[in-house]
Homo-oligomer: A and B are copies of this chain.
Amino acid sequence: MTRRATTHDVARAAGVSLSTVDRVLNDRIGVREGTRRRVQEAIDRLGYRRDAAAAALSRDTFYRLLFLLPDRGSTFIRSIAPKLRETADGPEGMRTEIHTITVPMLDAPSLVTALDQVMPDAYDGVALVGTDARIVRDAIDRAVDRGVHVVTLVSDVPGSRREHYVGIDNVAAGRTAASLLGRFIGTEPGAVQVVLGSRQLRDHIERLFGFEQVLGTEFPHLDLLPVIEGFEDNDRTAEALQARLASSPDLRGIYIVGGGKQGVLSALRASGPPSLIRVVGHDATPHARQALMEGYFDAVLNQDPGHETRSAVRVLKCLIDGTPIHQDQERICIDIFLRDNLP
């Protein structure tokens, strides 16, 4: 086979014209059953595969997508906007117009307002970092009813009629963290500290759930100290942790569920060189990498923001086109980084 079959080849082989082939390919009406079968047979026989690039070129359609991103938040959250811009500049951005609106973080009413302004005559699809509130869920459903395609990004809004969630399985991430931390700590009894960003963030709650689940069943010799909620504020987190370090000499492990890594890091640094306290956190930000290299952190779970923005764009296009989503390709992995396999 020296070159791929084209629609011309199929048309010739089936003894029909190009447009008939096109009709069969795109399941359009107006083809006699016999003709359709002849064409289909030619397609199979020649091993014809549609040239997606040429198809997109000729269709000349534009996808209009809107991303609703928090105006601030953790280093990870803030990395999404630039990655989205890269995505828009890359191949997935072809024939695609991507707008971004920033919304106050953790402010459900603002998110609802933004969502309610998304009209199907301006946008074909919208991606949003979910805030878990009933009013948000309802606003998503209204948008879907209006004919706008909706996906959630990084943090899901279950119960809503969003058509897809782009992000990691946060319960599994919590379980993974517990598995790692538990094994790192070993069999001696001790205490474990969880540092949480905010209980309003669904992804953080889910991680905590998975973490407690595995720690309780598989590492019962480890005590869970009262959770520190740092509200993604590093100073506040550092202070609280420092107090805990002083009061709990049996502390053997820390799980940083969300923001506040830098706070944890400065508290640890203040209490001396890397000790026997094992630390697992999330998101391979520059500070986290540094902490891994220095030995203050032992492992970092990561979700690749570039993968996520690209997946969100691909999924929205599929939803708009009505073509199926490749679940396997769109699954966002929980990456584990140690000092030794940092990219």
Contact residues in B for A53 (Cβ distance below 8 Å): 53-54, 56-57, 91, 94
Count of identical protomers in the assembly: 2
For residue A89, CB closer than 8 A to chain B, the reply is yes
Q: Roughly how many angstroms separate A178 CA and B57 CA in the complex, as a whole number?
A: 50
Pair B333/A336 contact, Cβ less than 8 Å: no
Is A176 an interface residue when CB atoms closer than 8 A count as contact?
yes
| Interfacial chain B residues near A341, Cβ < 8 Å | 172-173, 176, 301, 333-334, 336
Is B57's CB under 8 angstroms from A54's CB?
Answer: yes
Are A298 and B57 also in contact (CB < 8 A) when A97-B1, A97-B2, A341-B176 are?
no
Flag whether A228 is at the interface (Cβ < 8 A): no
Residues of B within 8 Å of A97, CB to CB, are 1-3
The answer to whether A5 has its CB under 8 Å from any CB of chain B is no
Name the one of B89, B95, B338 contacting A336, with C-beta atoms under 8 angstroms. Answer: B338
List chain B residues, Cβ under 8 A from A180.
Answer: 338
Residue A57 contacts which of B51, B179, B183, B214 (CB distance < 8 angstroms)? B51
Q: Mark A138-182, 1 if CB is under 8 A from B, else 0.
A: 000000000000000000000000000000000011011011100
Give the chain B neighbours of A179 by CB distance below 8 A: 338-340
Task: State in angstroms the CA–CA spacing of A53 and B186 once bound together.
Answer: 54
| Nearest Cβ on chain B to A251's Cβ, whole angstroms | 17
Which of A3, A278, A343 gathers the greatest number of chain B CB atoms within 10 Å?
Answer: A343
- Report how far A184 CA is from B298 CA in the complex, Å: 12
Residues on the B chain within 8 Å of A236, using CB = none
Asked if B49 and A89 make an inter-chain contact with CB atoms under 8 angstroms apart, the answer reads: yes
Interface 0/1 of A52-63, CB less than 8 Å to B: 111011000010
| B-binding residues in A (CB < 8 A) | 1-4, 49, 51-54, 56-57, 62, 89, 91, 94-95, 97, 172-173, 175-176, 178-180, 183-184, 186-187, 210, 214, 278, 298, 301, 331, 333-341, 343
